[in-house]
Chain A
Amino acid sequence: GAVVSQHPSRVICKSGTSVKIECRSLDFQATTMFWYRQFPKQSLMLMATSNEGSKATYEQGVEKDKFLINHASLTLSTLTVTSAHPEDSSFYICSASPGPGGQPQHFGDGTRLSIL
Chain B
Amino acid sequence: TQLLEQSPQFLSIQEGENLTVYCNSSSVFSSLQWYRQEPGEGPVLLVTVVTGGEVKKLKRLTFQFGDARKDSSLHITAAQPGDTGLYLCAGGRRSGNTPLVFGKGTRLSVIA
Query: Residues of A with Cβ closer than 8 Å to B?
Result: 4, 6, 31-32, 34, 41-44, 46, 49, 91, 93, 95, 97, 101-110, 112
Are A112 and B97 in contact, with the CB atoms below 8 A? no
User: In terms of DSSP, what is the predominant structure of the interface of chain B?
Assistant: loop
- Given A34-B99, A42-B104, A101-B94, A93-B48 contact (CB < 8 Å): no
B96 touches A101 (CB 8 A): yes
Q: How far is the CA of A109 from the CA of B42 in the complex (A)?
A: 4
Q: State whether A107 and B43 are in contact (beta carbons under 8 Å apart), knowing that A46-B99, A102-B98 are contacts in the complex.
A: yes
Interface size on B, residues (CB 8 A): 26
Chain B residues with Cβ below 8 Å from A49 are: 97, 99
Q: Is the CB of B97 within 8 A of A104?
A: no
Q: By the criterion CB–CB under 8 Å, are B40 and A110 in contact?
A: yes
Q: What B residues does A105 contact at CB under 8 A?
A: 33, 45, 90, 92, 100
A112 to B104 CA separation, bound complex (whole angstroms): 20
Given known pairs A32-B97, A97-B97, the reply for A104 and B48 (CB within 8 Å) is yes
Inter-chain pairs besides A46-B99, A104-B48, 5 sampled, C-beta below 8 Å: A44-B43, A102-B96, A103-B92, A103-B94, A104-B33
Interface of B toward A, CB cutoff 8 Å: 30-31, 33, 35, 40-45, 48, 88, 90, 92, 94-100, 102-105, 107
Q: Is there an interface contact between A42 and B105, defined as CB atoms closer than 8 Å?
A: yes
Partner of B107, one of A41, A44, A95, A107: A41
CA distance A6 to B41 in the complex (A): 11
